[in-house]
Amino acid sequence: MSALKWGLIGASDIAATRVIDAIRSSGGTVTGVFSGSSARAADFAATHGLGRATSNLEELLAWDVDAVYISSTNDKHFDQATRALRAGKHVLCEKPLALDAGEAEAMVQLAEDTGLVLAANHHLPGSPLHAKVRELVNDGVIGTVLSAKIAHAVLLPERLRGWRLGQGTPGSGVILDITCHDASVLNPLLGTPVAVSAVAVQQAAWNTGGQEDAAMTVIRYENNGQSPVLAQTHDSFTVGFAMTSLEVHGTKGTVQVFDAMTQDTQGEIVLTTESGARTIDVDCSEDLYLIGLRAFTAAVHGTGVPTATGRDGLMALKVALAAQESATSGRTVHIN
């Protein structure tokens, strides 16, 4: 499989800490970076050994690159992804794909029309832990699924306490940041999300940005006429001492995943049925972002599908937007 040449759109923390390494480990090369600031672009390129830096997006899109990785702030994803697809580049776009479902739908449609790969960089659905849970559920090991719970309450690192908290940047807040990730795990597991109810609050004294930093959400799923499934999520930037987890409850058993929602695969799966509780072995040695990069590369070469397709990213966004709307309006929001 020939290596992909990448351009980075966004001189971001996630590119610096995770994705540049994952691209290189997948066999790809990073040609250069675009930033809104030429000084930051130059600095980022020098720090990460990239040959080119620009503050002109059209210049990056004219480089000899096969694909772009977009990790700018959420409000810029739609415009940058659309321009990249129009320039004939495959696009790996950070979540949320856009701030509006219509815009995300347009991105997906454009990728389909141009025959290019558009994927959302949801790292969790590709985790061997979550793949194993889907396998157990699909094999009927826990019977008919009734409900699921995700605990995804973490303490936002100080270095990330900028635009995520508001500060006038559209697309901020814990729901678009974390609930969106939860939906990327729950949607392929539970079926079609049809209704969402959420309550969100602002808790942290250091959160002066004006956006919610903690939310609890309930999602109703439907799956081919089977009984509806309820899922519950707790997402927070304010909880320093808690483990993330996923539980799925069925008529014949429960599967629990501890450390389920972290960036590093270190979790454990416990299956409890009539015969008792047992740990299920899963090989968690691979980096989640590398798993995503490999899948994206295979998709470009027509030999696989992305960990989260553009359509998967769109559905995760729809859940997060419904949760945001519900938290604001105090009503249950239906997804069509």
* Min CB(120)–ligand NDP separation in Å: 8
Site for ligand NDP contains 35 (CB under 6 A): yes
Q: How far, in Å, CA of 306 to CA of 162, rounded?
A: 30
Comparing CB distances to ligand NDP, the nearer of 40 and 48 is 40
Comparing CB distances to ligand NDP, the nearer of 59 and 222 is 59
Q: Which stretch binds ligand NDP (CB under 6 A): 12-20, 59-67, 78-86, 322-330?
A: 12-20
Question: How big is the site for ligand NDP, counted in residues (CB under 6 A)?
Answer: 22
Would you put residue 49 in left (φ > 0), alpha (ψ -120 to 50) or beta? Answer: left
Site for ligand NDP contains 152 (CB under 6 A): no
Binds ligand NDP by CB under 6 A, chosen from 5, 24, 40, 48:
40
Helices then strands, counting H and E runs in the chain, come out as: 11, 15
Comparing CB distances to ligand NDP, the nearer of 123 and 152 is 123
Q: How far, in Å, CA of 81 to CA of 297, rounded?
A: 17
State which of positions 90-129 bind ligand NDP (CB under 6 A).
94-95, 121, 123
Report whether 33 contacts 57 (CB < 8 A): no
Q: Token pair 């942290």 is at which residue?
A: 204
Q: Which stretch binds ligand NDP (CB under 6 A): 84-92, 160-168, 190-198, 233-241?
A: 160-168
Q: In terms of DSSP H, where are the helices of 98-238?
A: 101-114, 128-138, 174, 180-190
Report whether 60 contacts 70 (CB < 8 A): no
Q: Which stretch binds ligand NDP (CB under 6 A): 126-134, 146-154, 159-167, 313-321?
A: 159-167
Binds ligand NDP by CB under 6 A, chosen from 160, 243, 277, 305:
160
Q: How far, in Å, CA of 62 to CA of 52, rounded?
A: 12
* Min CB(81)–ligand NDP separation in Å: 11
Binds ligand NDP by CB under 6 A, chosen from 26, 72, 172, 217:
72
Report whether 165 contacts 207 (CB < 8 A): yes
Closest by alpha carbon to 5, among 29, 32, 39?
29
Comparing CB distances to ligand NDP, the nearer of 28 and 253 is 28
* Min CB(140)–ligand NDP separation in Å: 31
The sign of the dihedral angle between the CA atoms of 137, 142, 144, 150 is negative
Site for ligand NDP contains 39 (CB under 6 A): no
Site for ligand NDP contains 31 (CB under 6 A): no
Site for ligand NDP contains 14 (CB under 6 A): yes
For 163, the token pair is: 């635009």
Report whether 42 contacts 53 (CB < 8 A): yes
Q: Token pair 């006038």 is at which residue?
A: 168
Binds ligand NDP by CB under 6 A, chosen from 36, 88, 140, 210:
36
CA–chain centroid gap for 199, Å, is: 21
**Which parts of this chain interact with ligand NDP (CB under 6 A)?**
10-14, 35-37, 40, 71-74, 94-95, 121, 123, 160, 162-163, 177, 263
